[in-house]
A and B are shown apart, each in its own frame.
Chain A
Amino acid sequence: MQLGSVFRSRLRAATCTLLAVTAGGAMAADFGTKWTFEGASLLYSENKRTSVFEPLLIVKRDYGDGQTLQGKFVFDAMTGASPTGAAATNKVQTFTTPSGNRYQAQTGEVPLRHFQDQRASADINWTKPLSRKLRTELGGHASAETDYASLGATATMIGDFNQKLTTLTIGGGANDDRITPVGGVPVGLTRVNSLDHEETTLSKNIVDGMIGVTQILTPRWLAQLNYSYAAEHGYLTEPYKVISVVDPITGETASGDYVYEKRPDQRARQSVMFSSAYHLKYDVLHISYRRYWDDWGIASNTIDLKYDLQLSDKVYLEPHWRSYHQTAADFYVYGLPRGAPLPEFASADYRFGDLTTQTIGAKIGIQTGEYQQFTARIEYMRQSGNEHPDEAVGVQRDFSLFPPIDILIMQVGYSIGLP
C-alpha cells in the first residue's frame, strides 16, 4: 500500500474540500436568510458582589454574495459591590467614596465599594469577499459609561489556500480609550485622602495584531492555531482601587491608612491558542487550549471543552467546562508594610492575584421554526485565589485574604431569520 501517493493525497484533499465545505454549507448559502435578528438578555451575578443585567441585540444582513454586515448593540446595568483592594483586618474599616459617600467593612470582611453604573456599546462588522480566496473584515467599536469611553477599529484579511483546506488570518486593531475618574485622578501610592483631585481625562491606547491558521484535517476535523499580541499604553491604573498599609508585625491596619494603587503605564500581552472541532457522527466536540503571558508577570493557561449534543433534529444541548489559572502580576500585593520603602508599582486588585476559575455550564438550543431558534445558557463559575498567602502577617493570618467568589451567569436569547 502506498498511502503517500501524490495522486491519492491530492484527490483526497480535493474531495475533502468539495464535501467538507458542501456539508450544510451549500444549503445555507443557497437558501439562507437575508436578515437575522437576535435578541438576548444576560444576567451575571457574583455572590454578594457585582450584578450585571445585559440586554443585547444583534442585527445581521447577509447579501448572499459572501458580503455581510452585522451590528451588535449592548446595554449593561451594573450594580453591587466590588473589592476596593483593601485587605480584611481585625477592625471595622470605614471608607469614603470619591463622590463623598461613606461605607464600612466589618471585621474580617474584604472591603467592598458599592457602585452603580450603566454602559452602552455598539459594534459594527462588515465582511466582504475580495476574490474567491480572499476576504476582508472591517469592524468598528464604541462604548461609553460614566467615567470611561472607548473607540476602536479592526481590520482582518482572510485567505484560503491549498484548495480551501487551509485558511490564513491576519488582523490588527487599535483602540483609543478615555478615562475620566470620578473625583479626579489620584496620585499612585500616595495616601488616600478626601481632598478633591483635579478632574482630568486620561487616555489609554491599545494596538493589537493577530495571525492565525485554520486547517481542515479531514472532512470531520478542523484545527486552528492563533497568535496574538497587544501593546497597551497610557493610564492603565484603576483609579478607585486602594492598598492597605499594614503593620509589618501585627498585620493590623491603622484607620484610614491606605494608598492608591499604581500600575505601569505600558503592557505587552501575548497569547497562543490552539482549538479543534471534531464532527462525530452528528455531534461536535470542541477543545481549546490558550496560553497567555504579559510583561506584568501574569501568565495563564485555559482549557475549554464543549460538546454539541444533537438531541433531535431541532434540539441541541451543549455542556461546557472551562478551567483557568493565572499566576500573579509581579506587583501584586496583599498589603504594603508600614515604614518600608514604597515599590515602584503595586496593586491589590484581586484580578492580578494568583487566580483559578472553574466554569461548568450548559447551553440548550431549540429550533422553533425554519429560521427561528431559542437558546438558553446557564453557567456557574468559581473564582478562587490564595486565601492564606505566605506574605500574610499577624492578624491577616486569621482572615481569608481571597474568599472564593461564586458567579452565576444566565442567558436567554431568540433569533429570527427572514429569507
Chain B
Amino acid sequence: MRRETTLVRQADYWAGRFQAMGGPCEILIETRAHRKAAATLELAAAEAWRIEEKFSRYLSDSVVQCINRSSGVPVHLDSETARLLSYAHECHALSNGMFDITSGVLRRAWKFDGSDRIPEQCVIDDLLPLIGWEKTALADDSFTLPAGMEIDLGGIGKEYAVDRAASLIEQTMPQSFVVNFGGDLLVSGTRESGKPWRIGLDDPNLSTEDGLGMIQLAGGGLATSGDARRFLLKDGVRYSHILNPKTGWPVVKAPRSVTVVADSCIEAGVLSTVAMLKGPDAETFLESEGVRYWSVR
C-alpha cells in the first residue's frame, strides 16, 4: 500500500493528499503554518489507514476478514468494532431491513461494468440464503456470522473514517478544515473570510447551483451514494448497482446518484444509501427528512 502524503500551498489554505480506501483523499486546512498543516495531514492519513487496515474486506488480517472467515464461530469484538456493528444493526432496523451489510455477497452475481450481462435468477437464488442481518447474532462483545455469509463495512467505513479523522483534527486545532475521502467529506469550523468552502462533486451529471459541479458548504458532512458510471443496460432498462438485499436485484427506478448533507458524514452516507434503496421514492424520502440533497436521474 502506498503510504505517502503530499502537501500543497493554496491561496489561503494547505491541501494535503494521500491514497486510502481505494481512492484519493484530501485534507484542506485553513492555516498558514506549514508545520501545523503537515501534522494535521499526518494525523488524518494515519487514522484513514488505521481504519482501512482494520475494516477492509480485502486485507487478510482485518477484523472484517476475521469475521468473514469465522464459519459460524462467535468472534470476540473490540469496542470500536462492536460500536460499528451496533450502528449497522440500527441502520438495518431503521430501514426495515433494506440497509444490510451482509448483502455484499451479491457482488458474486452482479458485475456493473456497463455491459448487458444480467445474471441468471438461479445464481441469485443460491446467494439469497447468505443474506440477512437478522441471521447474525450481535452480543455484548461478540458477533456470530453464519458460515458462508460475509459482512462488508464499505457502506459506512469510509464515512466513519471521515468523521473520526475530523474529530481527531478538531481536538488539535481550532481552524476551519475539510476532510474529503473520495467524495465523502466533512467541513468543520468557519473560515476566516466567513465564506463557505467550495467543494467539487465528482459527477458531471450533477446539476448544482453554479452548474459547474461545485457546491458551497459552510459546515457538516456530505456523502454520495450511487455511481453514474456503474450500471448495466439491457433491453433499454438501466440497472443501478444499488441492490435490494431481499430480492437480490437492483433497486428499480433509483436515482443514478444521491448526495446528502447532514451533521456528520456517516449520517449523510446512511441517508443517501437509504434514499437510493427507496427507488422511485428517493427524493420524497429526502424531502420528508428535511435534508439538503442533490439527486441525479
Contact = CB atoms under 8 A, between A and B. Distances in A.
Contact of B141 (A1, A25, A132): A132
Contacts of B247: none
A24 B266 contact: no
B90 A14 contact: yes
Interface string B65-106: 000000000000011101110110011001000000000000
B226 to A, nearest CB: 19
B140 A132 contact: yes
A187 interface: no
A131 interface: yes
A30 interface: yes
B60 to A, nearest CB: 20
A327 to B, nearest CB: 43
Interface in A1-36: 1-3, 5, 7-8, 10-12, 14-15, 17-19, 21-26, 29-30
A313 interface: yes
Contacts of A281: 170, 174, 189
Interface string A158-201: 00000100000000000000000000000000000000000000
Given A5-B289, A19-B264, A282-B174, A14 B91 contact: yes
Q: Is the interface of B mostly helix, strand, loop or mixed?
A: helix
Contact of B290 (A8, A11, A15, A24): A8
Contacts of A18: 83-84, 86-87, 160, 266
Contacts of A163: 86, 90
Contact of A26 (B80, B139, B263): B80
B217 to A, nearest CB: 18
B288 A10 contact: no
Contacts of B141: 132
B94 A7 contact: yes
A15 B91 CA distance: 10
A164 to B, nearest CB: 9
> Which of A17, A19, A21 has the most chain B CB within a 10 Å cutoff?
A19
A25 B79 CA distance: 9
Contacts of A22: 80, 83, 164, 167
Contact of B91 (A5, A11, A19): A11
Interface in B173-196: 173-174, 189
B172 A282 contact: yes
Nearest to A13: B90
B267 A11 contact: yes
B261 interface: no
Contacts of B274: 7
B289 A23 contact: no
B163 interface: yes
Given A2-B288, A10-B94, A19-B264, A24 B160 contact: no
A183 to B, nearest CB: 58
B78 A30 contact: yes
A201 B216 CA distance: 77
Contact of A19 (B78, B167, B271): B167
Contacts of A15: 87, 263-264, 266-267
Interface string A281-294: 11000000000000
B84 to A, nearest CB: 7
B270 interface: yes
A310 B174 CA distance: 10
B267 A12 contact: yes
A5 B266 CA distance: 18
A11 B271 contact: yes
A2 B160 CA distance: 25
Contacts of A3: 290
Interface in A25-66: 25-26, 29-30
B121 interface: no
B163 A19 contact: yes
Interface of A: 1-3, 5, 7-8, 10-12, 14-15, 17-19, 21-26, 29-30, 131-133, 163, 281-282, 310, 313
Given A8-B290, A23-B171, 7 more contacts: A3-B290, A7-B94, A8-B289, A10-B94, A11-B94, A18-B266, A29-B78
9 contacts: A2-B288, A12-B267, A14-B91, A17-B83, A18-B86, A22-B83, A132-B82, A132-B141, A281-B170
Closest 3 CB pairs of A and B: A132-B140, A1-B290, A14-B90
